[in-house]
Amino acid sequence: MEISIISPTQGQKIVQTLRQADYGVTELTGSGQSGVVNLITTIVPRKDVKDVFQLVNQTDPKSFIAVDDMKDVKRGYMHVVK
């Protein structure tokens, strides 16, 4: 699952929180309606979506979160619990 998070104020904290939880994260800076925002993307197994939601909501309850179903993923970093 691809999770996209947009936060105007807490992007760095969200990135740190997700990385500390061993999720791979890509961070971009963009321009939103109200100014500069952080766009954070992570790809996780379906079973981890709730965990990511909790981590993000604890850090920035006002962030925008969107989830897309991924059909195929090749290469990169993926949080895998063994």
Q: Determine the structural domain holding residue 44 and report its residue range.
A: 2-68
Are 6 and 63 spatial neighbours (Cβ–Cβ below 8 Å)? Answer: yes
Are 67 and 76 spatial neighbours (Cβ–Cβ below 8 Å)? Answer: no
In this structure, what CATH number is given to the domain that contains residue 52?
3.30.70.120
Q: Is residue 16 part of a domain?
A: yes
Q: Is residue 78 part of a domain?
A: no
What pairs with residue 36 in β-bridges? 31
β-pairing verdict for 64-68 and 26-32: unpaired
7-53 pLDDT, tens digit per residue, is 999 999 999 999 999 999 999 999 988 899 999 999 999 999 999 99
- Please tell me the predicted confidence (pLDDT) of residue 74: 63
Q: Is residue 17 part of a domain?
A: yes
Q: Is residue 75 part of a domain?
A: no
Q: Is residue 76 part of a domain?
A: no
Count of domains observed in the chain:
1
pTM: 0.84
Q: Is residue 82 part of a domain?
A: no
Q: Is residue 52 part of a domain?
A: yes
